[in-house]
């Protein structure tokens, strides 16, 4: 069960995913949202492609009339990018940067252009919420490409927040720690899951992995009117792994 809390908050949801060979489940997610009484549309596309990113935002506007909230939650699949930095093939490094960083930039740029282009008298403003990582605030062994991509997302978040605050658009990031996702469970089942404790990724304060719902709840809060005075923040949801 996923946690479509934005749909429970009466949002119309548009879900974009990369090719179905990499990630399955958009149809089932749409079904869950519909069962809760929400509206949902899905599309398979490549956010690292400029024209695809622009087309996705255009599709949202065509279906729902406007775009108010963008959640950048795409992630490159694990592969040859995991390992000592000096052993990472450049192709693997580039793939991670293309999805995690370039894709976040392209989707954010397209969304902002739409948010700023509304007609006179139309409600302005919006929310951009980037899913970054604790690895965007501290380096971890064997994660050079991932850390580089997420540090970039944190920097992009801060920059866009400064640019857009006076236009009513807030930009924040959520930085998860270790989360028990279906992808993590599959890696555990295959026997190739990393030793999170060895990598220093399990918090001693709350010594467990987090749940997807705990991330979804933070996203829903940042998208809400209650977070109107919060921008440029990269908020840790990690059980106290990185404090301060």
Residue 135 domain flag = yes
- Domain containing 117 equals 45-176+209-237
121 sits in the region (left: phi over 0; alpha: psi -120 to 50; else beta) called left
User: Which range, of 4-13, 29-38, 165-174, 184-193, averages the lowest pLDDT?
Assistant: 184-193
Whether the Cβ atoms of residue 96 and residue 76 lie closer than 8 Å to each other: yes
Residue 1 domain flag = no
Residue 91 domain flag = yes
Q: Residue range 152-180: average pLDDT?
A: 97
Burial 138-162 (b: 16+ CB within 10 A, else e): eebebbbbbbbbbbbbbebbbebbe
Q: Give the pLDDT band (50/70/90) at residue 150.
A: very high
Residue 163 domain flag = yes
Residue 104 domain flag = yes
Task: Please return the burial class of 69, using the count of CB atoms within 10 Å of its CB with bins 0-12, 13-18 and 19+.
Answer: buried
Instruction: Give the pLDDT of residue 188.
Output: 59
Entry field: residues in the chain: 244
Residue 112 domain flag = yes
When divided into structural domains, the chain yields a total of 1
Whether the Cβ atoms of residue 41 and residue 30 lie closer than 8 Å to each other: yes
For 81-144, what is the HEC assignment?
CCECHHHCCHHHHHHHHHHHHHHHHHHHHHHHHHHHCCCCCCCCCEEEEEECCHHHCCCCCCEH
Domain CATH for 141: 3.40.50.720
96 pLDDT exceeds 70?
yes
Mean pLDDT of the chain: 86
Residue 56 domain flag = yes
Instruction: Give the pLDDT of residue 171.
Output: 99
Instruction: Give the pLDDT of residue 202.
Output: 66
Q: Give the pLDDT band (50/70/90) at residue 1.
A: very low
Q: Give the pLDDT band (50/70/90) at residue 97.
A: very high
User: Which range, of 26-30, 69-73, 141-145, 226-230, averages the lowest pLDDT?
Assistant: 26-30
Instruction: Give the pLDDT of residue 187.
Output: 61
**Calculated CA dihedral for residues 157, 158, 164, 165, nearest 10 degrees:** 120
pLDDT in tens, 200-216: 566 678 888 899 999 99
Q: Give the pLDDT band (50/70/90) at residue 17.
A: low
Active site residue 3: no
163 pLDDT exceeds 70?
yes
- Which of 14, 93, 105, 146 is flagged as catalytic? 146
Residue 25 domain flag = no
Q: Residue range 176-205: average pLDDT?
A: 68
pLDDT in tens, 29-79: 778 888 877 788 888 889 999 999 999 999 999 999 999 999 999 888 888
Q: Is 62 helix (H, G, I), strand (E, B) or coil?
A: helix
- Cα 238 to Cα 171, 176, 206, 207, distances in angstroms: 20, 5, 8, 10
Cα–Cα distance between 235 and 1 in angstroms, integer? 25
């Amino acid at each position: 069960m996923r946690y479509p809390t934005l749909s429970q908050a009466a949002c119309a949801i548009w879900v974009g995913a990369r090719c179905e060979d990499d990630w399955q489940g958009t149809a089932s997610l749409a079904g869950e949202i519909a069962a809760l009484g929400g509206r949902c549309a899905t599309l398979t596309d490549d956010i690292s492609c400029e024209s695809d990113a622009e087309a996705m935002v255009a599709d949202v506007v065509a279906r729902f009339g406007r775009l108010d909230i963008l959640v950048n939650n795409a992630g490159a699949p694990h592969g040859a990018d995991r390992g000592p930095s000096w052993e990472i093939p450049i192709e693997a490094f580039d793939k991670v940067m293309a999805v995690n960083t370039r894709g976040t930039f392209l989707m954010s740029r397209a969304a902002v252009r739409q948010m700023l282009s509304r007609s006179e008298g139309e409600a302005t403003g919006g929310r951009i919420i980037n899913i970054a990582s604790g690895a965007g605030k501290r380096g971890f062994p064997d994660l050079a490409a991932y850390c580089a991509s997420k540090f970039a997302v944190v920097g992009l978040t801060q920059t866009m927040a400064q640019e857009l605050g006076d236009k009513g658009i807030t930009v924040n990031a959520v930085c998860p720690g270790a989360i028990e996702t279906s992808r993590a469970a599959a890696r555990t089942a295959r026997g190739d899951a990393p030793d999170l404790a060895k990598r220093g990724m399990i918090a001693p304060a709350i010594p467990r992995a987090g749940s997807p719902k705990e991330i979804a709840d933070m996203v829903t809060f940042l998208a809400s009117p209650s977070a109107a005075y919060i921008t440029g923040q990269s908020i840790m949801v990690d059980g106290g792994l990185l404090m301060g």
